[in-house]
Amino acid sequence: MALERSDVEKIAHLARLQIRDEEVPGYTQTLSDILALVDQLQATDTTDVEPMAHPLDAVQRLRADVVSETNQREQLQSVAPAVENGLFLVPRVIE
Amino acid sequence: MEWETVIGLEIHVQLATKTKIFSGSSTAFGAEPNTQASAVDLALPGTLPVFNENALRMAVMFGLAIDAEIGKRSVFERKNYFYPDLPKGYQTTQLAEPVVGRGHVDIELADGRIQQVRIHHAHLEEDAGKSLHEDFHGMTGIDLNRAGTPLIEIVTEPDMRNAEEAVAFARKLHSLVTSLGICDGNMAEGSLRFDVNVSVRPKGTETLGTRTETKNLNSFRFMEEAIELEVERQIDVIEGGGEIRQETRLYNGDTKVARAMRSKEEANDYRYFPCPDLLPIVIDDAYIEAVRATLPILPAQWKATFVEQYGLSEYDASVLSSNNVQAAYYDQVAKSCGDGKLAANWVMGELARLLNQHDTDIKASPVSAEQLGGLLTRIKDDTISGNIAKKVFEAMWLEGGSADEIIDAKGLKQVTDSGAIEGIVDQVIASSDKQVEQYKAAEPDKRGKMLGFFMGQVMKASGGKANPGAVTGILKQKLDALCD
């Protein structure tokens, strides 16, 4: 499966990546090459193979429902670009 | 043309865990902004999620309560989108392998019809934080206390055909999750949020019309209004020659207006993939059975018991079984006094009235089920009349104590001794010449109605303590004797 220029632009937008116009053909080629590899994998007969969600042969450990975190707001917000009244401030998301 | 409405719901239920789904931060409501947002909730580099066992247990409880298949293996996936109240840039959720599979919830409609609503599945996921769009110098404020609160999202099949059915389902679900104790049910605080998928099609056809989704309805009334408005809008559009666009809509309950979200706000391309930070959740039969053993009695079971054992009407049984605390309270009162109908009348009548008047709920009732049961026992054995019982009940509410203590202390014991009652009846007859003459002049079949006056006088003279049954008998006998 070969990607079009527009596919790459869409993927970049969804991932919030800004790429220069002249970079688009290069990405289109390399991403298409990756998909070609996936096509090759797809051709393998996997009838008797169970789908894998995780490469580790283990199951999730569970945590008891007990509060273990204390308020670290001051420290955590010390690295934020803008805070006010305990809130993180970000560029306005609705007009 | 006649149109048929088709409705399916998606419901987000905040689980009543103490901590978040993937971190040990508290989930208590109403804390100062960002004081319950840890490094994991903020998605700082190097942090990893650890799954909360209690969230899993609650999801399994829900699955068992709706008779669903429980996913013995379930997998968390990443749903990718960018929004500032979602610090990781993805929501950890489940898609292909959810914890709860197909199940069903039976709803009861106003006309007594029972209808089954199929549940497609329910999955575990995390809530996002909150964006505050008030003006912070042209910026948006973000509070991440809610980020990572465990949710189950319940998805129904499109089995509802009008707003009434959808609201009946929503109420049933509310009653179910609160009875299970897996959600506090506080809709105003967002503990239970409904998304409604609505489409219309010509009646008698099978193909589903294009649907719209109205998001985040947080009251039953808004849900009903939003559905009715949307059905009307869709029919207008189609009959006007237009087409329904698949879109997400928002309903404002204050202005009663709905609008479509701009397409930029949606961009539904979530690129799900299994979350590499979390291993598959695997549970065995022993775990499921251990959870099953902790299930409380559910509304449907209470209701059946109330109808069969106490002979209650379907309606009364529904009201009393709608929440677990009330059902257990009623059950104890009924057992204690041995009269299910009397107990139902008091729990839905006097008790509900005083709870309402004092703006409290049955959990905090100052009168316990034992106390009320004791009081009703004294009505049953004719120690006091129903009217006196109301006075005893109010005294019990204000001052505490058992029915017997209050009856003794206030001298409220009913007079059943016929000698004493005869004395009062004679007095009343002697001082009511006019009414006695009217009684004698009346046709015999009209006299029954005229007893009311004398009854009232006797009860008044006895301070309400005379046994009404005994009074009626004696009055009738004495008055009729005068007529011969």
Q: Residue length, chain A?
A: 95
CA closest to A85 among chain B residues? B33
DSSP single-letter state for residue B123: E
- Residues B92-110 have a mean pLDDT of 93
**B310-338 per-position pLDDT tens digit:** 999 988 998 899 888 899 999 999 999 99
Q: For B222-242, give one letter per residue: b (16+ CB within 10 A) or e.
A: bbbbbbebbbebbeeebeeee
Whether B247 and B261 have beta carbons less than 8 Å apart is answered as yes
Cβ-based contacts of A69 with chain B (< 8 Å):
19, 23-26, 36, 38, 40
Q: To which H or E segment does residue B480 belong? A: helix B468-483
The beta-carbon neighbor of B53 closest among A14, A63, A77 is A63
CA distance A23 to chain B (A): 23
Question: Of the candidates B246, B270, B214, B276, which has an alpha carbon nearest to the alpha carbon of residue B95?
Answer: B270
Phi/psi-derived region of residue B134, left when phi > 0, alpha when psi is between -120 and 50, beta in every other case = beta
**A43-65 per-position pLDDT tens digit:** 999 999 887 767 887 888 999 99
Please tell me the predicted confidence (pLDDT) of residue B383: 83
Whether B64 and B102 have beta carbons less than 8 Å apart is answered as no
- Residues B251-255 have a mean pLDDT of 91
Report whether CATH 2.30.30 matches the domain A5-42.
no
Please tell me the predicted confidence (pLDDT) of residue B478: 85
- Residues B340-350 have a mean pLDDT of 94
- Cα separation, B187 vs B177, whole angstroms: 12
On the question of pLDDT at B266 being above 80, the answer is no
* Residues belonging to chain A with any Cβ–Cβ distance to chain B shorter than 8 Å: 10, 14, 16, 53-54, 56, 58-69, 71-73, 76-77, 82, 84-94
- Residues B358-372 have a mean pLDDT of 90
B23 interfaces chain A, CB cutoff of 8 Å: yes
Beta bridge partners, B21, equal: none
Please tell me the predicted confidence (pLDDT) of residue B484: 67
For residue B18, count other CB atoms closer than 10 A to its CB.
15
Check residues A22 and B461 and name the one with the higher pLDDT: A22
- Cα separation, B231 vs B120, whole angstroms: 23
- Cα separation, B158 vs B174, whole angstroms: 19
Q: How confident is the model at residue B268 (pLDDT cuts 50, 70, 90)?
A: low
Tokens of A92: 């306005």
DSSP single-letter state for residue B255: T
Residue to test with chain B: of A14, A88, A94, most B Cβ within 10 A: A88
**B56-68 per-position pLDDT tens digit:** 999 999 999 999 9
On the question of pLDDT at B41 being above 60, the answer is yes
Cβ-based contacts of A18 with chain B (< 8 Å):
none
* Mean pLDDT score across all residues of chain B: 91
β pairing state of B212-217 and B192-202: antiparallel
DSSP single-letter state for residue B347: I
On the question of pLDDT at B96 being above 70, the answer is yes
Check residues B209 and B422 and name the one with the higher pLDDT: B209
Check residues B306 and B360 and name the one with the higher pLDDT: B306
B59 interfaces chain A, CB cutoff of 8 Å: no
Spell out the domains of chain B, with CATH numbers in brackets: 3-288 (no CATH), 297-410 (no CATH), 418-483 (1.10.10.410)
Question: Of the candidates B323, B53, B285, B67, which has an alpha carbon nearest to the alpha carbon of residue B180?
Answer: B323
Q: Contact B141/A85, CB-based, under 8 Å?
A: yes
On the question of pLDDT at B360 being above 60, the answer is yes
Please tell me the predicted confidence (pLDDT) of residue B264: 53
How open is the CA angle B100-B103-B105, to the nearest 5 degrees? Answer: 125
Q: Contact A65/B35, CB-based, under 8 Å?
A: no
- Cα separation, B171 vs B463, whole angstroms: 46
Lowest mean pLDDT among A46-60, B68-82, B154-168: A46-60
- Phi and psi, residue B103, nearest 5°: -150, -165
- Residues B399-424 have a mean pLDDT of 81
Cβ-based contacts of B40 with chain A (< 8 Å):
69
Please tell me the predicted confidence (pLDDT) of residue B229: 96
Please tell me the predicted confidence (pLDDT) of residue B263: 61
Please tell me the predicted confidence (pLDDT) of residue A50: 83
What are the boundaries of each domain within chain A? 5-42
Q: For B473-482, give one letter per residue: b (16+ CB within 10 A) or e.
A: ebbeeebeee
Please tell me the predicted confidence (pLDDT) of residue B276: 92
B276 interfaces chain A, CB cutoff of 8 Å: yes
- Cα separation, B395 vs B388, whole angstroms: 11
Q: Contact B144/A62, CB-based, under 8 Å?
A: no
- Residues B435-458 have a mean pLDDT of 83
Please tell me the predicted confidence (pLDDT) of residue B37: 97
Residues above pLDDT 90, as percent of chain B: 64
- Cα separation, B164 vs B232, whole angstroms: 15
Q: Contact B141/A84, CB-based, under 8 Å?
A: yes
Inter-chain Cβ pairs, chain A and chain B, closer than 8 A: 126
Here the ipTM equals 0.87
- Cα separation, B465 vs B478, whole angstroms: 20
On the question of pLDDT at B262 being above 80, the answer is no
Please tell me the predicted confidence (pLDDT) of residue A37: 95
Whether B40 and B49 have beta carbons less than 8 Å apart is answered as yes
Radius of gyration in angstroms for the set of CA atoms belonging to chain B, rounded to a whole number: 30
CA dist B341 → B67, B124, B331, B332, B335 (Å) = 31, 42, 11, 13, 11
Whether B133 and B140 have beta carbons less than 8 Å apart is answered as yes
Q: Contact A89/B142, CB-based, under 8 Å?
A: yes
- Cα separation, B8 vs A89, whole angstroms: 37
Q: Please identify among residues 356-385 of chain B the ones whose CB lies closer than 8 Å to any CB of chain A.
A: none
Low-confidence ranges of chain A (pLDDT < 70): 53, 94-95
On the question of pLDDT at B187 being above 60, the answer is yes
Cβ-based contacts of B26 with chain A (< 8 Å):
67, 69
Phi/psi-derived region of residue B30, left when phi > 0, alpha when psi is between -120 and 50, beta in every other case = left
Residue to test with chain B: of A6, A61, A63, most B Cβ within 10 A: A63
On the question of pLDDT at B375 being above 80, the answer is yes
End-to-end distance of chain A based on CA atoms, in angstroms?
39
Whether B404 and B389 have beta carbons less than 8 Å apart is answered as no
Residue to test with chain B: of A69, A72, A95, most B Cβ within 10 A: A69
Q: To which H or E segment does residue B91 belong? A: strand B90-94
On the question of pLDDT at B111 being above 60, the answer is yes
| Residue B2 identity (one-letter amino acid) | E
Whether B223 and B167 have beta carbons less than 8 Å apart is answered as yes
Check residues B462 and B102 and name the one with the higher pLDDT: B102
Please tell me the predicted confidence (pLDDT) of residue B287: 96
| Residue A26 identity (one-letter amino acid) | G
On the question of pLDDT at B245 being above 80, the answer is yes
